Structure 1
Amino acid sequence: MTTLDPNAVLWSVPPAERAGRPLLVLLHGYGSNEEDLFGLVPHLPEAFVVASVRAPLSPRFPMPGYSWFTIDGVEGRDPDEVQASADAVLAFIDEVGGDAPLVGLLGFSQGGVISLQALRTRPHGIAFAVNLAGYAFPEPVPSDVELADVKPPVFWGRGALDPVIPQPFIEHTAQWLPEHVDLSGRVYPGLAHAVSAEELHDVHVFLAKQLEA
């Protein structure tokens, strides 16, 4: 069973300040670690308790860091690994979520894939997802029908010059997301496989709206 390391989590506030507050879980990209997205915390609404977690797998040598699933060639992805990592994130939320009135996910690249996969797996348990420079995994999930009925909010941001994500995945996501979620987001001219200040501003606005809702 795939699990997340509870000792490899960075929290924005100590335990005494987490009760009754909304929870936002950060999911880093391929070959990175829990420290990567934690630098976004000052740019996110202060109302959230933020937990930045470490992916459970090690990428293939010589790539450093951690991964959510194995990348095999341009488009090769193991659906079992994708789902196992999404389930591990949900198990982590069950463990630490406590009385959080709102739980959302924010992922970059591979982490963006897992943020959507977890949302698809539990449409009524995850309030929203932010997918930065990622995509929706093309393998169907049994609860996709339920997801389309719930239509939770999703922000999808990506760079127009992103050379990393295969175009077929982008095309699939552009068609799939509006059919299943309440979609907002932008394509940022001049941006590659990264996050810009403009995109962070848009993410902040999106997250603030989730708090209001």
Structure 2
Amino acid sequence: MTAPEVGVEDFTHVFEPATASGAPALLLLHGTGADEHDLLPLGRALAPGAALLSPRGKVTENGMNRWFRRLREGVFDVDDLIARTAELAAFVRAAILAYDLDPERIVVSGFSNGANTGAGLLLLHPGLVAGAALFAGGAPLQGREPDPVDLSGVQVFLGNGVADPITTIDQARLVAAQLGQRGADVEAREHPGGHQLTPDVLTQAREWFERAKF
């Protein structure tokens, strides 16, 4: 697939420069119905001092922002996901140049629809990000086996609820397996709740981020 021509102006977004010397950058991907401001507090909590790059999904569903289309509840339009993820990857590459980011120190973090998209970036665009902290997300390619890409050296944290009715725990475990089989170092944490990011999981994710030393 030919990479789309995308500049930073093609996505509505927020960029906050790093406030700590030598800090990495967090790419923040919101969930359905949210926008580019929603995950800024998560980014500050997860990696204090990091640069924050938070775009808005370009798909709308019943007036709600999303990253890719759904055919119905729980069923993704996988072709649209692939195309939209390629566009997002091109935006990230443009942002690296526009904001002078270290291309080897970008970490994606997302919730729900944003977590699915973050997993898509890992599986479809290996080498774009150094790691990922994804919450309430699952396997993005639904029924398609991802290509055998090399994710060696990529560090991933996954947080999911075992009672999640939207992203089932089976889908969460599937994406953990897909990433691990391709060489990623995956730390998966499960909580007893549903489609949410619990304080305990956020604490675990922040501790993981500190250990990862991006």
TM-score, normalised to structure 2, is: 0.82
Q: Is 1:120 matched up with 2:123?
A: yes
Distance in 1, Cα, partners of 2:115 & 2:5: 18
State the 1:86 CA deviation: 1.5
Distance in 2, Cα, partners of 1:5 & 1:84: 18
Q: Report the counterpart of residue 188 of structure 2 in structure 1.
A: 185
2:54 to 46, 52, 55: 52
Distance in 1, Cα, partners of 2:187 & 2:126: 17
Give deviations 1:162-204, integer Å, cap 9, x for gaps: 1112465345335423322211021012x22111111111111
Give deviations 1:94-124, integer Å, cap 9, x for gaps: 1111341401100111111111111122322
Gaps of 5+ in 2: none
State the 1:23 CA deviation: 1.2
Letter in 2 for 1:80: D
Q: CA RMSD in A?
A: 2.6
1:140 to 145, 154, 160: 145
Q: Which 10-residue stretch deviates more, 128-137 or 4-13?
A: 4-13
Name the structure with the higher strand share: 2
Distance 1:57 1:11, change over 3 A: same
Distance in 1, Cα, partners of 2:73 & 2:173: 15
Percent identity, aligned pairs only, is 24
Q: Report the counterpart of residue 12 of structure 1 in structure 2.
A: 16
Distance in 2, Cα, partners of 1:86 & 1:2: 13
Distance in 1, Cα, partners of 2:38 & 2:5: 21
Q: Is 1:94 matched up with 2:93?
A: yes
Letter in 2 for 1:164: I
TM-score, normalised to structure 1, is: 0.82
Letter in 2 for 1:57: V
Distance 1:20 1:90, change over 3 A: farther
Give deviations 1:17-42, integer Å, cap 9, x for gaps: 69964211000112221122122133
Which residues of 2 match residues 38-117 of structure 1 at below 5 A?
A: 38-59=40-61, 61=62, 64-97=63-96, 98-100=100-102, 101-117=104-120
Q: Report the counterpart of residue 32 of structure 1 in structure 2.
A: 34
Distance in 1, Cα, partners of 2:202 & 2:181: 25
Distance 1:90 1:186, change over 3 A: same
Give deviations 1:128-153, integer Å, cap 9, x for gaps: 111100012232343x3323xx2521
